[in-house]
Amino acid sequence: MILSLSFERLVQALSRFPGIGKKTAQRLAWHLVSQNRDFALELAETIRTTVELYTTCSSCRMLCESDPCPLCGSDERNDRQLCIVESSADIYILENMNEYRGRYFVLGHLLSPLEGIGPQEIHSPELLARISQNQPEELILALKPSAEGEATIHYLYELLKGKSFSITRLSTGIPFGGDLEFSSMLTLANAFKRRYSV
């Protein structure tokens, strides 16, 4: 039963969040419409303001409030290492380890031909430009160990092998199919320390 088209649209919108199914989306929608109206309107305004403030760093492609981002604009970062990640959220996770002081590049996606995500969608040309600019000694592939992650690692290795830098990947202390987001800091730190050549 559809109570109203507007309520159904709200449920559909909420269910687009990762990890949110239809039942959870319905609970959230009921919470929003049944609570103090000011809360829902303030939340909507906060979302709108935040989304409008964020942009993509032209150097590393991280989502942030400035271009260049604070990491690319810092003189204290190590240019000898370039860490490749899938998303901006992965950078925040890795930075919380306080182990890595190099530079980053955000692919935005992992290769997935079934979903129409190929080399252009993971911004291969921009990555090559970033590598040419930074001239790193080590390229770290910090991608999740899933089928798509492995395909992306293989593609990047074939694209970049024979260059003047080493290519490493995170140790498989992170379980196959796992996300960086759900790994403990200790597991992530150990995997990062035990990275190995591709």
Most confident among 34-43, 104-113, 174-183 (mean pLDDT)? 104-113
Please give the pLDDT value at position 181.
72
Q: Is the pTM of this model over 0.85?
A: no
Judged against a pLDDT cut of 70, whether residue 172 lies above it is answered with: no
- The pLDDT tens digits of the residues spanning 49-66 come to 999 999 999 999 999 999
The band of 195, judged by pLDDT with boundaries at 50, 70 and 90, is: confident
* β-strand pairing of 138-141 with 78-85: parallel
- Over residues 66-83, the pLDDT tens digits come to 999 999 999 999 999 999
Query: pLDDT for 107-131, tens place per residue?
Result: 999 999 889 999 999 999 999 999 9
Please, what is the average pLDDT of the chain?
90
Rg (alpha carbons) of the chain, rounded to whole number:
20
Q: Count of alpha carbons within 13 Å of 125, Cβ hemisphere only? A: 2
Domain 76-197, CATH 3.40.1360.10 — does that match? yes
Residue 110 CA from chain centroid, whole number = 10
Domain residue ranges of the chain, discontinuous segments joined by +: 5-45, 76-197
Determine how many CB atoms are found less than 10 A away from the CB of residue 151: 16
5-45: CATH topology is Helicase, Ruva Protein; domain 3 (1.10.8)
- Residue 165, CA atoms < 13 Å, CB-side half-sphere: 21
Determine the average pLDDT of the residues in 71-100: 95
**Residue 157 Cα distances to 16, 20, 141, 153, angstroms:** 33, 34, 9, 6
The CA-based angle 181-185-191, given to 5 degrees, is: 90
AA identity, residue 70:
P
Share of the chain above pLDDT 90, in %: 74
